[in-house]
Amino acid sequence: MPTVEDSSTASMPGPAPIEITFVIRGAPPTGIEGIVGTLERVLCRATTYRVQRRLGDIVCPTHNERPRVIASGPSADHLTFTVVGCCQALVETATAKLC
């Protein structure tokens, strides 16, 4: 009998999404799901979309890893970005594309 692959375990084409962590008003680091306010969640989703568009194709050619981004600030509409990665070359490349 033929088997059907469960969509939850099917691999998506292309690289995995960029990991983005938010630190707003000094709160503990969180993803979008941890943002409480509706407006802040919408702004963080827009930020995530922007980061994914700008960094979506970046993978370290040496280590085959993706950059990670920390978005922090006093509010969701005043964020600064820090890029973290496996090596300085990846961090510099991603930072340049993000600005």
Beta pairing, strands 19-24 & 78-84: unpaired
Higher-confidence residue of 36 and 88: namely 88
In a domain, 74, yes or no: yes
Reported confidence tier of residue 14, pLDDT bands at 50, 70, 90: low
Kindly state whether residue 58 falls inside one of the protein's structural domains.
yes
Q: Which domain holds residue 32?
A: 19-98
Read off the pLDDT of residues 42-89 as tens digits, 9 standing for 90 and up: 999 999 999 999 999 999 999 999 999 999 999 999 999 999 999 999
2 confidence band (pLDDT: 50, 70, 90): very low
Q: What was the pLDDT predicted at 16? A: 78
In a domain, 84, yes or no: yes
Looking at the domain assignment, is residue 13 inside a domain? no
Q: How many domains does the chain have?
A: 1
In a domain, 9, yes or no: no
pLDDT at 15 over 90: no
